[in-house]
Amino acid sequence: MGEPILSVSGVYKSFGHVQALKNVSFTLNKGEVLGLVGDNGAGKSTFIKVLSGVHKKDGGSINYEGKEVDFASPKDAIAAGIETVYQDLALAPDLPIYSNMFLGREMVRPGLLGKLGFVDKQAMRDSVLTNITKLKATLNHVEQEVGTLSGGQRQSVAITRAVIWGKKVIIMDEPTAALGVEESAKVLDIVNEIKKHGITVIFISHTIPHVMEVSDRICVLRLGETVADLKTSETSYEEVVQFITGSKTQINRK
């Protein structure tokens, strides 16, 4: 703790006349969970897309692991160790769990067969199984097609995939939005497990209780601006809501 991994200051971004981000700033330490909250249109998704390399920022600075970064494509962000779990999960429903987790980065067999593109299914299954166990995700059968899983299980697949690849930062966009109470609880458990392994998480959500439950810090966006950067232990549900709705506007209480 205490070592900053990501420090964002004054990031802005416009689409034509619409200024989606005006001034996003926060600092995130290694191994922390940041809850990124805000009303619809506050700029959460736009900011995430900037951070994950989908959009380029127009200005401001993003300092990642002590270096100024400006990702030109999602590939750059992924190469830097930042993985994003999108709201739509980006899974292939007809493929088994393990293929989904290795999609685009399949393990190949050693030697000539590997050069010809032959995949090592057993190695992938084993690796997936190890990671599922590590995160205590409730997925029993790595051969099961993702299309036959429940919403929470699909979320677990997408998150586990991010953990396998995102060695440093995982961004989760509304991971509990479509889930029932029990399944949400499982996803929050997984977030807590991820934290134990020293991985930094940015957790975007509308559901403030979920954010309160897993986050170390909360960054509130309103109309494209950071209006509060709070320690979860020093704030309350009511205060966060007040910042979101704009009835409270004090900035950056440290």
Partner 1 sequence: MTGKTDTNIKQTFANIVTDYWIVLVFLGIYLVFVILEPLCLSLPFWGSTFNYMAEILILGVGVMFVVITAGIDLSIGPVEGAVGVAAGLTIRSLLPVVGNGWAIIAGSAVGLLLGLLIGFLNGIVITKLKLAPFIATLGMSVILTGTGYILNNGLEVVGLPRVMGKIGNFTIMGFMGFTTIIALFATVVFGVLLKQTRFGIHTYAYGSNAESAKRAGIDVDKHIIRVYMISSGMAALSGVLLVFRFNTGSPLAGANVTLYAIAACVIGGTSVMGGRGRMIGTFIGALIIAILVTGLVMLGVQTYWQQVSTGLIIIFAVYADQIRQKKALK
Interacting residues with partner 1 (CB under 8 A) = 74-75, 78, 86, 88-95, 99, 103-106, 108, 116-119, 145, 147-148
Nearer to partner 1 by Cβ, of 49 and 57: the residue is 49
Least Å distance, CB 79 to partner 1, is 10
H or E element, residue 225: strand 225-231
Nearer to partner 1 by Cβ, of 114 and 246: the residue is 114
> In 3-state terms, what secondary structure has residue 6?
strand
> Could you tell me which of 19, 21, 25, 26 has the C-alpha nearest to residue 49?
21
CB contact set of 239 (below 8 Å; sequence gap of 6+): 230, 248
User: Alpha-carbon distance 39 to 51, whole Å?
Assistant: 19
Least Å distance, CB 205 to partner 1, is 21
Nearer to partner 1 by Cβ, of 145 and 189: the residue is 145
Nearer to partner 1 by Cβ, of 1 and 112: the residue is 112
Least Å distance, CB 177 to partner 1, is 18
User: Alpha-carbon distance 162 to 82, whole Å?
Assistant: 9
Angle 237-239-240 (CA atoms, 0-180°, nearest 5)? 65
Least Å distance, CB 109 to partner 1, is 9
